[in-house]
Structure 1
Amino acid sequence: MLAVGPHARTFETGRESMTEMSRTPTSKGAGGSYLDAPPVVNARIKEGHQQWLSRALLCLMFFLLAILAMFVSLLALSSVLSTKADLNLAPDGTFQIAVFSDLHYGENESTFGPPQDINSAALMRQVLAQEQPDFVVLNGDLITGENTFAFNSTGYVDKIVAPLVQGGYSWASTYGNHDSKYNLSREALYAEEKKYANAYTQHGPAGTDGVTNYVLEVYSPVTTGSSPRPIALLWFFDSRGGSAYQSLPANVDNIDNYVSNGTVTWYRSVQAQLQGEYGILPSLAFVHIPMLAFVDLQDQNSPKVSGPNYPGLNADVPLAQQGYSDTGSEATPFMQALLDTPGLHSIYSGHDHGDSWCGRWPNSTLPGYGVGGGSGQMRPFLCFCKHSGYGGYGVWNRGVRQVRLSFDQSGDMSVNTWVRMQAGDIVTAVTLNETYGEDIYPTADGQ
């Protein structure tokens, strides 16, 4: 058996000495076994193993702590980046919203589509420069999904929001019936949109149908305290429609085109919760496809839409509304929920490219239609946005509805709205107040 001298190296560097191990008998054929080594050798080998194990565990612990610290740092950074600033009134107590509706990017890519998108982007830049709104709403049909390919469909989001990003504008979206097609899904559209820090669009919770069902709070110019009280609410609803992603036959509509009962249940619950916390707040609602109340209003004789009391383009007659049946039974729960909401001032829709008027929710309904507001009820206003994009049907001049909220020192809200045409002129400028429908306005509609 080989002797181990008193100066043999042990585990001072944290590694076992290969020289030492090679001198330690490991088999009977080599003159003995490991177990036959002197006790002092066994003790030193055992001590070396323990030291090596301790140092290995220490290194592993430091490695895991470093990974944990990196994860916490990334999580904190992500939280900071994803935190949105409050939506605040301007110092003068106003909050102006520009509503771009029916942009319809992504139509026929080999012919007329790209020039249309260029024209739409130019309109957005021109109107933003002229109006300089505090906030932007993209109110559905951002993309003509049936004309896109799976590999590039969501890439149109980057083109749509480029003027907003370059101008430093924040925005929120609803999705329309053309935003769900064989090669485009609402979920993918939302994921692409949320890559941008300026996007306030949110995903509805479980139990709601579609994607864009959410509420945003608007605050005073300067918020103080740990729990500031909002001064107004902006509601967004997904009226759905279109066809399911990658479902055959391709682009055949198979998604219900109305705000679902599940979304209505969520809305009633959250609205009651906010009212209980803050009291009655003035609010606005945005939904792409209009409701049957719009149909009732369009059909009424006095005052007529597009006239001096309700000015605006009225070329889509009859207009296309939520639901399938003439009775509007699918959309009735949503309409009733809106009518039951204290403080709901106005509702803004697109979808019908040839309409751009505003009117008061009718106080009666046609036989078998919709839900009437009742003559003694503070009924919300109904407004069409204005066809903003160069995609989609229709050859009417393009424009963008502007909605300016004004608050006095007591928190009471007044609303003025107009359409800014791409040519620069302003048409159908009205005040949505108690006498709207009786007041007389110019009837020029920009066409």
Structure 2
Amino acid sequence: MKCTEFLCFLICLVDAIGSRVEAKNVAVNYPGIQFSKDGKLSITVFSDLHFGEPEQAQGRRDADIKTIGVMNNVLDSEHPNMVVLNGDLVSCEWVAPENLNSLIDQIVAPLIERNLPIAATFGNHDASKTCSTRLMSEYMWTIKGTNGKKLSFTTSSVPGEPDQVGTSNYFVPVYSSSDGSKLAMLLWFFDSRGGRIYQPSGIDIPVDDWVDDAVVAWFRQTNDQLREQVGHDIPSLAFVHIPVHATLSFQQNGGRTGTNEPGLNEEEVGNQGDVCDSNGDHCNYNGADTPFMKALIDIGVMAVFSGHDHGIDWCMKWSKNLANDPANGNGINLCFNRHSGYGGYTDWKRGARQIVIEEDKLGKNELETWIRLEDGRISGHVTLNSTYGADHYPSVDKSKTFVS
């Protein structure tokens, strides 16, 4: 990939935000991906893998081995261009610091075997007093494929302590299928934090569970700079572990139906900005994710993908006023992933969200998405376009997605 004016701008930007990429190497190895020759980009999203839980945590034997099976089955069915690990890779409250890297090695093994690019966000279970998301990110940054090429984009682009700004805040450029130097879209990754401050010899101190205002400012400024450089708005997707409050408002106010927004709806949404008591039994929403929601609206991302809630996997179009949220979502699509890991609560069949974007449909803000289950079946296949939310789809048969 040659060093165009835009790419040279990215070099300066990466250097300015403190990435570990050395400027002299960026012109050849700047972390980005490209639409395939057929004009498509296929992304598999694994969420809530929860590696490292002892058997007594959920009463399941060989949970990590079974989760690797899920990943292999999904990847063999989908053959994606890229994989996103969207939070709660590890149940770090059960993990000693010296054991974390070996768990990461297990998680990425199916991806390394296939030489798949990897981007991760961190979730509330990835941060504990025995696990540092910063150290996790630095270890993941070194991952290479069997072909010797660098695979991982996971990094920290916003200065500050991880308990203040998080770790997995960065973007990945996506270049045109016909021109490897032409920016076609952006993939944004955010750390919604939560969990505990890393201090192995200390006590448990909770961390706020929303995207920090400093990250929001970075998001706005970086997007403005990129837009100014290319001369137009850039289509984009966003990935963040804990969903924004608009999803709970939609659910509580009767916006979701089984035919317009097919998928599992088996629990109440747990959203960013909840402040809970010491037992986690009583939580109140404090509105702290409002700046992040407003930024998503103003920038106009095509869709936002979240995990965290294991019994939910529908998508919604935020196109009207919702209680306690910014005035209007302007048609942003908000989607939940399928719980992928055998660690963590619930016993619905595991799987992953699949996203397919066609380059020639970027101007229409349109994409296809579905859940690929561990047994190979597809659930909740929808088209996120201007009429999503009004279109009717077959309801998901929950009886076929339960693991006894």
Do they superpose with TM above 0.5? yes
1:418 has 2:370 as partner = yes
**2:176 aligned partner:** 220
**Amino acid across the alignment from 2:328:** G
Q: 1:182 aligns with which of 121, 124, 129?
A: 129
Q: 2:212 aligns with which of 235, 245, 260?
A: 260
**1:331 aligned partner:** 289
Q: How many residues align?
A: 359
SS in 2 for 1:231: strand
- Once residues 188 and 363 of structure 1 are traced to their aligned partners in structure 2, the CA distance between those partners, rounded to angstroms, is 41
**1:395 aligned partner:** 347
Q: State, as a whole percentage, how many aligned pairs show the same letter.
A: 38
- Once residues 269 and 424 of structure 1 are traced to their aligned partners in structure 2, the CA distance between those partners, rounded to angstroms, is 42
Cα offsets for 1:408-441 (capped at 9, x unmatched): 2886552000000001100100000111111110
1:345 has 2:302 as partner = yes
- Once residues 213 and 123 of structure 1 are traced to their aligned partners in structure 2, the CA distance between those partners, rounded to angstroms, is 27
Does structure 2 retain, via aligned residues, the 8 Å contact 1:89–1:95? yes
Q: 1:160 aligns with which of 81, 87, 107?
A: 107
- Once residues 417 and 248 of structure 1 are traced to their aligned partners in structure 2, the CA distance between those partners, rounded to angstroms, is 44
Does structure 2 retain, via aligned residues, the 8 Å contact 1:327–1:370? no
SS in 1 for 2:352: strand
Displacement, 1:245?
Answer: 1.3
**Amino acid across the alignment from 2:169:** N
- Once residues 408 and 254 of structure 1 are traced to their aligned partners in structure 2, the CA distance between those partners, rounded to angstroms, is 45
Displacement, 1:149?
Answer: 1.1
- Once residues 361 and 289 of structure 2 are traced to their aligned partners in structure 1, the CA distance between those partners, rounded to angstroms, is 37
SS in 2 for 1:382: strand
1:311 has 2:311 as partner = no
**Amino acid across the alignment from 1:416:** E
Larger Rg computed on CA atoms: 1
Q: 1:195 aligns with which of 142, 161, 168?
A: 142
- Once residues 94 and 411 of structure 1 are traced to their aligned partners in structure 2, the CA distance between those partners, rounded to angstroms, is 14
- Once residues 33 and 210 of structure 2 are traced to their aligned partners in structure 1, the CA distance between those partners, rounded to angstroms, is 28
- Once residues 285 and 128 of structure 2 are traced to their aligned partners in structure 1, the CA distance between those partners, rounded to angstroms, is 27
**1:210 aligned partner:** 166
**Amino acid across the alignment from 2:259:** P
Cα offsets for 1:386-417 (capped at 9, x unmatched): 10011111111111000100122886552000
**Amino acid across the alignment from 1:210:** G
SS in 2 for 1:431: strand
Gaps of 5+ in 2: 1-20, 144-149, 276-283
Does structure 1 retain, via aligned residues, the 8 Å contact 2:273–2:285? no
- Once residues 144 and 192 of structure 1 are traced to their aligned partners in structure 2, the CA distance between those partners, rounded to angstroms, is 17
Cα offsets for 1:3-49 (capped at 9, x unmatched): xxxxxxxxxxxxxxxxxxxxxxxxxxxxxxxxxxxxxxxxxxxxxxx
SS in 2 for 1:275: helix
Does structure 2 retain, via aligned residues, the 8 Å contact 1:100–1:401? yes
SS in 1 for 2:109: helix
Q: 1:95 aligns with which of 41, 45, 70?
A: 41
**Amino acid across the alignment from 2:84:** V
**2:250 aligned partner:** 297
**1:320 aligned partner:** 270
Does structure 2 retain, via aligned residues, the 8 Å contact 1:328–1:370? no
**1:284 aligned partner:** 237
Does structure 2 retain, via aligned residues, the 8 Å contact 1:397–1:421? yes
- Once residues 151 and 300 of structure 1 are traced to their aligned partners in structure 2, the CA distance between those partners, rounded to angstroms, is 46
SS in 2 for 1:124: helix
**2:94 aligned partner:** 147
Q: 2:51 aligns with which of 105, 116, 119?
A: 105
Q: Scaled by the length of structure 1, what TM-score is found?
A: 0.76
- Once residues 144 and 393 of structure 1 are traced to their aligned partners in structure 2, the CA distance between those partners, rounded to angstroms, is 11
Structure 1 residues 218 and 194: alpha-carbon distance in aligned structure 2, compared to 1, 3 A threshold: same
Does structure 2 retain, via aligned residues, the 8 Å contact 1:171–1:200? yes
- Once residues 141 and 61 of structure 2 are traced to their aligned partners in structure 1, the CA distance between those partners, rounded to angstroms, is 24
